[in-house]
Amino acid sequence: MEDVETLNQYALQGKLDVTKLSFPAFFKSALTYILLNSGGALGEGVGPLLISNTQLPLSKIATSTIAIPGLNTTANLLLSFAFPAAKNKQIMRFNEIEDAVLQGKTTLGVIIHESRFTYQLKGLTKVVDLGAFWEQSMQIPIPLGGIAIKRSIEKSISIQVSKLIKESVVYAYENYPPVPDYVKENALEMDENVMGQHIELYVNDFSLDFGAKGKEAIEALYTVYKKMEGNENNSMSLNDLFLL
């Protein structure tokens, strides 16, 4: 169990057979990994938030120091999509960003996961909802991350892994809303109400299967990623990215 950017780095190294990862990290490692249809994080109103100690004019964002939860995160990609001139970034673990902004180590911070539900309690202010910016600009949901498996693994095994993940999500749906002990033991934000909010926001029908709409959103993000990377002629098609 690791934070998202550590898992992203592991994926770039080909370290794990099956891993959760951010979409930019998956795009970078797509020759090694293929995406499973189940277990992903994609939806509406689920994007990262750009926060500060005070309400900051949008004109100041490009020159401000910004804490990000990793170079290979979707959060960083969405920040660059909204503010391409913002380059003064400091990488830190996602759960350290709120305190970094509070202590003045950075002017701004991009928060993900449960921080979305706690930043206001700490006196922090939302400057921009980066997910909402994406949705308004692209008119599609936000792809955050998925589960990928090595292409070198036999396809029948990969299909079985995908099937088991889907069954696991179905089981969780059937036994919710009680928050399981496993979640309580591993959650960084220990308030059970926050855990529930987190689950209800990030676990949805796309977690069972991306479907056509989810794949369309991933394709749009892939196109934006390639443009930002200056690699628009990448020959790998969307169908090549998915197991099924």
Spatial separation of the C-alpha atoms in residues 109 and 50, rounded to whole Å: 6
Spatial separation of the C-alpha atoms in residues 237 and 48, rounded to whole Å: 27
Q: What is the reported pLDDT for 233?
A: 60
Residue 240: C-alpha distances to residues 18, 33, 36, 210, 244 (Å)? 17, 10, 12, 15, 9
Q: What is the reported pLDDT for 43?
A: 87
Three-state DSSP state, 4: helix
pLDDT band, very low/low/confident/very high, at 88 (cuts 50, 70, 90): very high
DSSP symbol at 123: T
Q: What is the pLDDT of residues 166-188, one digit of tens each?
A: 999 999 888 877 777 777 777 76
Catalytic center residues: 113
Report the half-sphere exposure of 232 (CA within 13 A, side-chain side): 4
pLDDT band, very low/low/confident/very high, at 234 (cuts 50, 70, 90): low
Domains in the chain (CATH in brackets) are: 4-43+142-233 (3.40.190.10), 49-138 (3.40.190.10)
Q: What is the reported pLDDT for 58?
A: 93
Amino acid in the structure at residue 44: E
| pLDDT cut 70: percent of the chain above it | 96
Q: Under a CB-based contact definition with an 8 Å cutoff, are residues 23 and 73 in contact? A: no
Torsion angle (degrees, nearest 10) of CA 99, 79, 92, 182: 80
Mean pLDDT confidence for 156-165: 96
Q: What is the pLDDT of residues 112-144, one digit of tens each?
A: 987 888 888 899 999 999 999 999 999 999 999
Which helix (H) or strand (E) segment holds residue 142: the answer is: strand 142-150
Specify the length of the chain in residues.
Answer: 244
- What is the bridge-based pairing of β-strands 108-111 and 66-68? parallel
Q: Under a CB-based contact definition with an 8 Å cutoff, are residues 203 and 20 in contact? A: no
Q: What is the pLDDT of residues 182-224, one digit of tens each?
A: 777 777 656 677 777 777 777 888 899 999 999 999 999 999 9
